[in-house]
Structure 1
Amino acid sequence: MDLCAISVLRCTLVFNLTKTGFNSYIYTATALTDMYMKFKHQFLYSALKVFDEITEPNTTSINVVVFGFCQNGCYKKAFEVFKRFSKFKVRPDSVTVASLLSGCEVSVKDGQQVHCWAVKIGV
């Protein structure tokens, strides 16, 4: 499927979700964020925009963003989202740690930071 067709489908989907109000449900917003992440680099910031509209993100919604950025090689952005965990008072889990460690090949310092944090919270 070409990028133009994907863009049309994306706009239609977002319009219908917004019109019906389903985009305000955390599960729908998380699924939409995950969909954007799977389209790779073209829609990463669309995914982040949907995520930013979630008023009370949960561990799953944050993991979707962290994992998506790591899978797309945007490790710095993944760490930025990870650092927002404390703002939301949501407890990261082993998925968060595994996702972040996959991105730590870029920086040993980041890997040590994730390891220390994981030990501290018992993950």
Structure 2
Amino acid sequence: MDFSTCDSDIFLRWLANQLGSEWMELAIYLNFRADEVDRINMDCMFARTSDKIYAMLTQCRNRQGTGSNLKGILQDALKKCGRQDLAIKVKDEFPSLSKDQLTVQQPTIAIYYHTKHFHLCTIL
């Protein structure tokens, strides 16, 4: 796995595990519309909060595309939602976070029933 970039899956999973209920506010600062946040909540209704956050962060990364300043975008949004501590870590410590600091919980896979179809919420 690549630990050297801010948009790596491992880094996004680590960040997701650092966040809590403020993730929806963070999503708004990352230019998600309220209906998109609701969709993530619905798609992952039986998943852990960290899995919902990870789904949102990966969507954010995918929207930005390669070569974007995801690190700066995340820093600004984290500051705005009151997580200055994480904004500083992203700015000052990344990519010097060690592999041990990036250890994350295994993701859960949540299946839910919606409009007569089964959907997978999170797959790693």
Aligning the two structures, in what range does the TM-score lie when normalised by the shorter sequence? under 0.3
Q: Which protein, 1 or 2, shows the higher relative CO under an 8 Å CA cutoff with sep ≥ 6?
A: 2
Greater fraction of residues in helix: 1
Which TM-score applies when normalising by structure 2? 0.26
Greater fraction of residues in strand: 2
> Which structure has the larger Rg over C-alpha atoms?
1
Which TM-score applies when normalising by structure 1? 0.27
